[in-house]
């Protein structure tokens, strides 16, 4: 399946009329939120724990999110000690 082509499957009917977000866009949004939180010396662990449970993310997106979390986590410990 090619990622850049829209899905041909019928959209699920639900109470929300908002279109489903692309999982890659979700990861980008989540990493941005975690990065901004780190600038304010806020522990992003609760954010990460919430984001990683998002059922819209696939295995690849969860791996990217985990990698971003691990790269941001050392920044927090340095910011707290300085």
Domain that holds residue 27: 23-81
Residue 56 lies in a domain: yes
CA torsion angle 71 77 79 82 (round to 10): -140
pTM of the model: 0.64
Rounded-to-integer distance, Cα 51 and Cα 80, Å: 23
The number of distinct structural domains making up the chain is 1
Residue 10 lies in a domain: no
Residue 67 lies in a domain: yes
Residue 1 lies in a domain: no
Mean pLDDT of the region 25-30: 92
pLDDT, residue 20, reads 77
Residue 44 lies in a domain: yes
Mean pLDDT of the region 66-81: 70
Task: Identify the three-state secondary structure at position 60.
Answer: helix
Rounded-to-integer distance, Cα 72 and Cα 31, Å: 9
């Amino acid at each position: 399946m090619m990622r850049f082509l829209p899905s041909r499957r019928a959209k699920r009917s639900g109470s929300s009329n908002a279109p489903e977000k692309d999982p890659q866009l979700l990861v980008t949004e989540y990493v941005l939120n975690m990065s901004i939180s780190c600038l304010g010396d806020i522990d992003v662990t609760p954010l990460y724990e919430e984001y990683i449970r998002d059922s819209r993310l696939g295995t690849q997106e969860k791996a990217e999110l985990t990698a971003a979390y691990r790269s941001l986590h050392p920044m927090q410990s340095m910011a707290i000690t300085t």
